[in-house]
Amino acid sequence: MSNAIFTLDAEIRTDIGKGASRRLRHAEKVPAVLYGADKEAVSLTLDHNKVIQAQEFEAFYSHVLTLNIGGEKVEALIKDMQRHPYKPKVLHMDFLRVDASHAITTHVPLHFINEDTCKGVKMQGGHAEHHLNDVEVSCLPADLPEFIEVDLADVEKDQTIHMSDLKLPSGVTLVELAKGADHDQAVVTIKGAKGGSDDAADEAAE
């Protein structure tokens, strides 16, 4: 994937307010704000077409981006993106400055692999029930993964993978698990088919 996807040119804007934002959107610009790292918030504008192209990539939302603001390069994460309710249009973006020496917290997508060859699915007639599609992680910016893999190859029917079962990259922790063992949420369960032969056998035995 090209690094150009993770670099956005931005301009500082001084004309703020709802009216100004509407004018920007009509001009195919996206109003945005950059904040964090104990610095003043800065109002920005970005090219709408570039944002639309970049946001098609999943990694865009969990990657440390580079904002090129008048020649100054600033590393940041997307913290919020407001979209039009039915048009393919981005209305506003929030960016959080990133400090390489300080840990960040952000959501990272889960990639479920080997689901079609999963033991509980292929051999035992179950199906995967996904409870989470992403997890919130804490790490230094350099350690931020684009995604976390969940391997279902050896998972059996009626078995559940929890957050504590995930294999995390070095330097990465899960925010929920840091709150205690009772926050060990279910990630995916291989469920048996409703009305299947096993259910019928159990009912007959009862």
Asked whether the beta carbons of 36 and 74 are under 8 A apart, the reply is no
Give residue 57's identity as a one-letter amino acid code: F
pTM for this model (two decimals)? 0.81
- What is the pLDDT at residue 193? 73
200/66: higher pLDDT: 66
User: Whole-number mean pLDDT of the chain?
Assistant: 87
Instruction: Decide the pairing of beta strands 7-12 and 39-47.
Output: antiparallel
Domains of the chain: 3-97 (2.40.240.10), 104-196 (2.170.120.20)
- Digit-coded pLDDT (tens) for 185-196: 999 999 987 654
The pLDDT assigned to 37 comes to 87
Query: What is the pLDDT averaged over residues 112-135?
Result: 94
Backbone angles phi, psi at 8, to 5 degrees: -125, 130
How do residues 137-152 score in pLDDT, each as one tens digit?
999 999 999 999 999 9
**20-40 pLDDT, tens digit each:** 556 666 667 899 999 998 899
* Distance, CA of 44 to CA of 10 (rounded, Å): 6
Confidence of residue 3 (pLDDT cuts 50, 70, 90): low
Please tell me the predicted confidence (pLDDT) of residue 13: 84
Say if residues 90 and 30 touch (Cβ distance below 8 Å).
yes
- Report the percent of the chain where pLDDT is more than 70: 85
